[in-house]
């Protein structure tokens, strides 16, 4: 337990490293923890106690003794036989054609394999399709290390469970799934994780079961959101609101409370494709998951609404509010707000003047990566419409009156999350058209 190396310092890896350090301090255990990332800029930023998107504060990083490294050879193994526990938390996105992209996982496995020694333990937390750990990752570790798994080193899998912006379900207090190559390895993983996640640990019967669980969890979420999105099209035709329908349906004890919208991030828009690819490879249809992805990834229903509204107003200026992938977080990965901004900007038939605001995203990174410049709310005025993509608390604090005063009379307020649905009459009375799912 003395040496832990977290590989990948994104949202999952950094927060996991900080939780490990805090938990082991609580147990007064002697340990060394390192955090490795191939992104030199990211490592230097963390060394300077600055985190751009994972939610770690300056004080969190300043008080931490984690050694942030950019070279795997910097791992501090004091004795030649001293064991290291590697925890791999790299991203597993999809390519443009939605095929699983395991390149980061392959690279991480190769890097770890180069420094792997006998008795070391490697635990993967990256989301993968069932079978990837044993069929892809372990052979790479064996090849690069010239060691044999289960005899010389050991491999487990424990899918990350983190919900950015959720103060109730924190990484440290949710049930943690663990698995191993066999019972011996499972107990090795358990001995480590029980000190980090004391609340509740669930031992899976195999690595494939743990891998499958993560894919199922997020595919189910995607399907549920797609149902509500699709149902909202019907309620609109009927002249009623999906929000009123959900309020009524939620009075039933077993109704699943899901809001309409466009899910972003690294889980819901990605994991179903891992399921779809593996299902098709094994001759299993995944029509429901495919349909859900098509529904939730389709912004053109909203874009048509915007076009119809903007035809009726004088100003061609649109303000898009909320560019992170979900409310009250700075992370922009797979942001549907950024995707919408890009689609509207590229529309030469409708030459809108599109401006943007977000209270939390890193302005420099956003401008460098997407070419989008963030403006201050107070400098945004004379709008034909506002498109609110996320329910950031900053917009509630700013106030609906201040927001709609920025829109010209008979302009439009597109409230995607329904944040101000209860105040829709106030918006309409002010002479602004209101639309939500």
State yes or no: is 137 an active-site residue: no
- In angstroms, the Cα distances linking 3 to 27, 34, 81, 85 are 15, 8, 12, 6
Give the helix ranges, DSSP H, for 282-384. Answer: 287-296, 300-310, 336-345, 363-370
Q: Between 300-310 and 336-345, two packed helices, what is the crossing angle to 10 degrees? A: 50
Cα(412)–Cα(303) distance, integer angstroms: 13
Cα(228)–Cα(437) distance, integer angstroms: 9
Q: Is 390 exposed, middle or buried (0-12, 13-18, 19+ CB in 10 A)?
A: buried
State both tokens at 42: 């990211």
Residue 198: closest CA among 29, 34, 19, 61: 19
Q: Is 291 exposed, middle or buried (0-12, 13-18, 19+ CB in 10 A)?
A: middle
Cα(65)–Cα(60) distance, integer angstroms: 10
User: Could you say which of 89, 137, 204, 267 is catalytic?
Assistant: 267
Q: Phi and psi at residue 29, in whole multiples of 5°? A: -95, 140
Cα(89)–Cα(13) distance, integer angstroms: 5
| Phi-psi map region of 248: left, alpha, beta (phi>0 left; psi -120 to 50 alpha) | alpha
Q: Which helix (H) or strand (E) holds 425?
A: helix 424-429
Q: Is 348 exposed, middle or buried (0-12, 13-18, 19+ CB in 10 A)?
A: exposed
Q: Are 384 and 408 in contact (CB under 8 A)?
A: yes
C-alpha of 385 from chain center: 28
- Residue 379 per-residue DSSP state: G
State both tokens at 408: 């010209």
Torsion 184-188-161-362 (CA) sign: negative
Residues serving a catalytic function are 267
């Amino acid at each position: 337990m003395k040496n832990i190396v977290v590989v990948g310092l994104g949202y999952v890896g950094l927060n996991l490293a900080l939780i490990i350090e805090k938990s082991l301090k609580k147990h007064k255990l002697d340990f060394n923890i390192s955090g490795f990332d191939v992104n030199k800029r990211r490592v230097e930023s963390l060394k300077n106690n600055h985190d751009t998107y994972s939610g770690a504060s300056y004080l969190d990083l300043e008080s931490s003794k984690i050694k942030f490294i950019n070279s795997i050879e910097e791992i501090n193994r004091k004795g030649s036989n001293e064991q290291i526990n590697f925890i791999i938390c790299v991203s597993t996105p999809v390519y443009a054609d939605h095929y699983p992209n395991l390149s980061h996982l392959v690279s991480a496995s190769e890097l770890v394999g180069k420094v792997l020694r006998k008795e070391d333990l490697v635990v993967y937390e990256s989301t993968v399709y069932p079978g990837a750990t044993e069929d892809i990752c372990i052979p790479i570790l064996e090849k690069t290390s010239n060691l044999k798994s289960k005899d010389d080193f050991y491999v487990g899998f424990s899918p990350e469970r983190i919900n950015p912006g959720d103060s109730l379900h924190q990484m440290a207090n949710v049930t943690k799934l663990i698995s191993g190559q066999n019972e011996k390895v499972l107990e090795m993983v358990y001995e480590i994780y029980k000190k980090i996640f004391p609340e509740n640990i669930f031992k899976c019967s195999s690595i494939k079961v743990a891998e499958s669980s993560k894919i199922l969890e997020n595919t189910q979420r995607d399907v549920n959101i797609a149902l509500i999105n699709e149902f909202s099209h019907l309620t609109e035709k009927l002249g009623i609101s999906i929000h009123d329908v959900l309020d009524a349906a939620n009075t039933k004890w077993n109704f699943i409370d899901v809001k309409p919208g466009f899910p972003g991030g690294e889980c819901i828009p990605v994991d179903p494709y891992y399921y779809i690819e593996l299902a098709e490879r094994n001759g299993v249809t995944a029509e429901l998951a495919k349909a859900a992805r098509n529904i939730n990834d389709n912004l053109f229903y909203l874009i048509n609404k915007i076009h119809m509204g903007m035809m009726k107003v004088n100003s061609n200026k649109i303000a898009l509010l909320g560019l992170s992938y979900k409310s009250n977080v700075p992370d922009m990965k797979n942001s549907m707000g950024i995707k919408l901004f890009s689609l509207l900007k590229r529309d030469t038939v409708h030459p809108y003047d599109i401006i943007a605001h977000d209270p939390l995203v890193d302005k420099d990174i956003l401008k460098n990566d997407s070419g989008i410049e963030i403006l201050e709310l107070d400098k945004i005025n004379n709008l034909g419409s506002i498109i609110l993509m996320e329910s950031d608390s900053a917009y509630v604090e700013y106030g609906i009156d201040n927001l709609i005063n920025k829109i010209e009379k008979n302009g439009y307020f597109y409230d995607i999350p329904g944040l101000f649905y209860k105040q829709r009459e106030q918006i309409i009375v002010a002479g602004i058209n209101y639309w939500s799912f």
